[in-house]
Structure 1
Amino acid sequence: MKELKITTSFTVYEQLEELPEEILSLMQKAVESRQKAYAPYSEFRVGAALLLDNGEVVLGNNQENACYPSGLCAERVAIYHAGAIYPDARITAIAITASSDNYEVKDPAPPCGACRQSIAEYEIKQKQPIPIYFMGKSGKILKSDSVKNLLPLTFDSSFL
């Protein structure tokens, strides 16, 4: 029997001002989108901003529903919207930010499992990794060079 070790690595930015200018602008757009989230049930607001290789920025925020599973996360709102209006564009970066109406979110909030799978699908589709920057409302920002850091054993079409 062998042991399989999987390691991940992240870049840590202690404050927004440390981000590259283009990513700082992207994160600021994610913050603006987060503030428009429809989150009357969880009161947990998430904003996402995608930078595409055509220069466009596509935004998303979480959209909740009284029938909880029917809602959609910010990341998937943005990814599916980008796929619908710019089907040939590649995603070059994703910025994600989360806040709560009830407490200060200081730790970086990573994408949920369903969003990780959706990001993985687009990484595979475009044959290049997507850098993901994520943060809470305040505090440090983490950068993952690829969703594979967050979802190392990815299920993809090769299994079908």
Structure 2
Amino acid sequence: MPSFSGLNHVSLSVTDLDASQRFYTQVLGFLAVLDTGTARVCIHKGTGFTIALVRHDGSSGARFDEANPGLDHVGMAAGSREELVEWERRFAELGVEHSPIQDMPLGHHLNFRDPDGIALELQAPTPAYAAAVERMRTEDLSDEEVLAAAEQMVGADFVARQDV
């Protein structure tokens, strides 16, 4: 099966290009690099992750709702739970509404929204999850080995069925 090397970009439909650009550049540290008139492309210099902000003609202007089919949220990587604490402080300083840090089996999550209500998340993996992902990147693991590692981290009841 062909493969791909990673996530390249996310394109988000927005209602106000200026407000969205300000949020992604001033709050999250992206750099706006392209303006086509109906879209702005912003890149994060530290990671190369790219977000395209697009204003579509005829948009309903409705706020994002992850309960509908389509995107649920965009997750961005943080290095540690301590980094998430720093993000919490930054969000508080800038008045960005956010969840408390949630500690889950695979990592720690900090959830927040952009000006259009698009759900965003910063996630720092647990050491076990980070090690498992690194093994997948560097070793030729079988599907069974990957599933066994998942079961070890979250328990058999939560490992995805393969017979769907």
TM-score of the alignment, normalized to the shorter chain, above 0.5: no
Indicate the TM-score class for this superposition, using the shorter chain for normalisation: under 0.3
Highest relative contact order (Cα 8 Å, sep 6+), 1 or 2? Answer: 1
* TM-score normalised by structure 1 residue count: 0.23
